[in-house]
């Protein structure tokens, strides 16, 4: 297919989607170079639908946790519940033990689909699964060996609970190979854009990891039963993911199932860089609270962490969108124009969704905190909430750029994260000493702004076709930050309300005239017209009555 002509200053227009993304059932390998698969699996309609499915799944699991956690605390008590949270953390972070192979499997599967090499996927799939299972066994043995030290020395578990906690950790260790392999199985489905299947498994299984422990309370508040219920939900998820993979791609049953040595080295090389990012990035995002606790007080940690965690929930949009777009980027590694179109659309969607919410939070941070947590929090955390909100908007844009860069060159972000860590620590300590938790918020926001700017520069370098779109995003993000900063200096409800109305009106105008592409304006206009017609049609019977 000949790529459409580029327009100066604008991202290239997408090629027409011949399939409309209505049917995503598995198909036989294409006779061409994978063009039909690329068009089908990276169509705008499919990616938009999968993003909404992902967001819905995340919201559903948050709702289950919100309801279940108070019940578990009441039934287990604070000490046992603390051990259960540690079990959840171990399961959640067991992805570090797979050395990035889950991400590597997603990327390499999507890349082979895009190149029309589906016949190589069975060997890739079984090779990755074998390596991940072996890593899981090693990790399980390691967790089992350190469990006595964890439960009796490192963790301050009350002595009467130590034996019970040790048994629970042994049960937990058994689940690690299954959890690691499940990540690879889920990644294989995501490479095919089957997010409706992954969420159909993940949401009920996550709910079961909360509901299962509640059911075991009928047999007594025993951590072995509780953790066993969590482990059982993970084993069930593994079996379902495996079954779905075999049904979605029957070639996995018919194709070569042995380990192909030639695939091990590139998978480990890619996964190794992903692991570096997975280790360093959590340090960059969580070490701030430890430094505040060391240099100021634990009370200051509360004033900083509470708005940080609350505002951080805005990232649910970018996290789920990036998860959907990552395999689409890998699918189109050899097709720069299509990658640039997807990247531009994703960035515009994130900004258009988050900026209005962030503006409300920044302008009314004091009032929100006072209503939510009281006068003391409003006095101590207002500026923290404002600066962190600005940072979250920029960081959300960076998450999409991170997925783009990692789909092509995972080493680039890993090296950037390693370079950032010492510089961030030095700056963070200095600003904390000078300005307290407000300085901490400025340091964190400054880091994510620099990080985003560099990541978008990497996107431009890796994808020359993305250059015009990246320039537009720089202007878009810079202008948005300026408006948000201006909103943080306002005082008085009337001034704040007036500023908000004017800023939102200008944002809508700029979004429509300068940010959205013509085809995006057409789609949005059609959606608004459909909504208006639906509202009018619902109102007619009521009017007659």
Print the SS3 string covering 157-207.
CCHHHHHHHHHHHHHHHHHHHHHHHHHHHHHHHHHCCCHHHHHHHHHHHHH
Residue 99 and residue 91: Cα distance in Å, rounded?
Answer: 15
In DSSP notation, 234-268 reads: HHHHHHHHHHHHHHH-THHHHS--S--HHHHHHHH
Average the pLDDT over 399-415 and give the result: 92
Distance CA 58, CA 158 (A): 34
CA angle 388, 391, 395 (to 5 degrees): 135
Residue 45 has pLDDT above 60, yes or no: yes
Q: What is the pLDDT of residues 433-444, one digit of tens each?
A: 889 999 999 999
Q: What are phi and psi of 27, to 5 degrees?
A: -125, 165
Interval 227-251: pLDDT, tens: 888 889 889 999 999 999 999 988 8
- If residue 91 lies in a helix (H) or strand (E), which one and from where to where? helix 44-93
Mean pLDDT of 250-263: 76
Q: What share of the chain in percent tops pLDDT 70?
A: 89
Question: What is this structure's pTM?
Answer: 0.79
d(CA 321, CA 397): 10
Query: What is the C-alpha separation between 419 and 455, in angstroms, rounded?
Result: 13
Quick one: tokens of 439? 């300085």
pLDDT (average), residues 358-367: 93
H helix and E strand count, the chain: 18, 0
- The length of the chain, given as a count of residues: 545
Q: pLDDT at residue 37 above 80? A: no
For residue 489, the 8-state DSSP code is T
Write the pLDDT tens digit of every residue in 75-130.
888 778 877 777 777 777 766 677 888 889 999 989 888 888 888 889 899 999 99
């Amino acid at each position: 297919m000949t790529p459409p002509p580029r327009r100066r200053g604008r991202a290239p227009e997408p090629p027409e989607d011949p399939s409309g993304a209505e049917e995503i059932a598995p198909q036989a390998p294409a006779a061409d170079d994978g063009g039909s698969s690329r068009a089908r699996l990276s169509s705008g309609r499919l990616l938009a639908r999968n993003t909404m499915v992902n967001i819905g799944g995340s919201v559903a699991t948050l709702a289950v946790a919100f309801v279940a956690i108070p019940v578990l605390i009441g039934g287990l008590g604070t000490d046992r519940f603390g051990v259960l949270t540690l079990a959840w953390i171990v399961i959640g972070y067991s992805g570090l033990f797979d050395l990035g192979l889950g991400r590597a499997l997603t990327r390499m599967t999507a890349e082979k689909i895009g190149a029309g090499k589906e016949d190589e996927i069975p060997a890739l799939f079984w090779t990755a699964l074998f390596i991940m299972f072996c890593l899981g066994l090693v990790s399980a043995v390691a967790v089992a060996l350190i469990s006595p030290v964890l439960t009796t020395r490192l963790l301050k578990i009350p002595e009467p609970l130590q034996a019970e906690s040790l048994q629970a950790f042994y049960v937990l260790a058994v689940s690690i190979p299954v959890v690691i392999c499940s990540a690879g199985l889920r990644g294989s489905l995501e490479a095919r854009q089957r997010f409706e299947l992954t969420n159909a498994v993940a949401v009920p299984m996550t709910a079961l990891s909360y509901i299962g422990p509640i059911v075991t309370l009928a047999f007594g508040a025993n951590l072995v039963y509780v953790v066993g219920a969590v482990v059982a939900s993970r084993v069930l998820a593994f079996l379902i993911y495996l079954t779905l993979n075999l049904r979605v791609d029957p070639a996995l049953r018919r194709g070569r199932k042995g380990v192909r040595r030639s695939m091990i080295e590139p998978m480990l090389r890619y996964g190794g860089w992903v692991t570096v990012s997975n280790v360093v990035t959590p340090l960059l995002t969580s070490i701030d609270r430890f430094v505040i606790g060391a240099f100021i007080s634990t009370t200051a940690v509360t004033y900083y962490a509470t708005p940080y965690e609350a505002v951080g929930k805005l990232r649910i949009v970018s996290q789920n969108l990036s998860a959907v777009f990552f395999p689409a980027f890998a699918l189109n590694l050899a097709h720069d124009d299509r990658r640039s179109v997807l990247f531009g659309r994703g960035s515009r969607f994130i900004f258009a969704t988050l900026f209005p919410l962030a503006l409300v939070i920044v302008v009314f941070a004091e009032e929100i905190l006072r209503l939510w947590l009281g006068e003391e929090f409003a006095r101590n955390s207002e500026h923290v909430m404002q600066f962190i909100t600005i940072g979250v908007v920029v960081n959300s844009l960076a998450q999409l750029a991170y997925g783009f860069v990692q789909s092509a060159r995972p080493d680039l972000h890993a090296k950037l994260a390693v370079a950032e860590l010492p510089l961030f620590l030095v700056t963070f300590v200095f600003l904390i000493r000078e300005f307290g938790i407000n300085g901490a918020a400025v340091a964190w926001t400054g880091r994510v702004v620099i990080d985003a700017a560099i990541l978008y520069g990497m996107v431009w370098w890796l994808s020359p076709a993305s250059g015009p779109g990246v320039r537009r995003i720089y202007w878009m993000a810079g202008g948005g930050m300026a408006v948000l900063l201006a909103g943080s200096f306002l005082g008085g409800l009337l001034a704040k309300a007036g500023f908000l109305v004017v800023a939102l009106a200008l944002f809508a105008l700029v979004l429509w005239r300068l940010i959205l592409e013509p085809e995006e304006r057409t789609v949005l206009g059609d959606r608004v017209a459909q909504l208006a017609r639906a509202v009018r049609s619902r109102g007619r019977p009521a009017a007659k009555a």
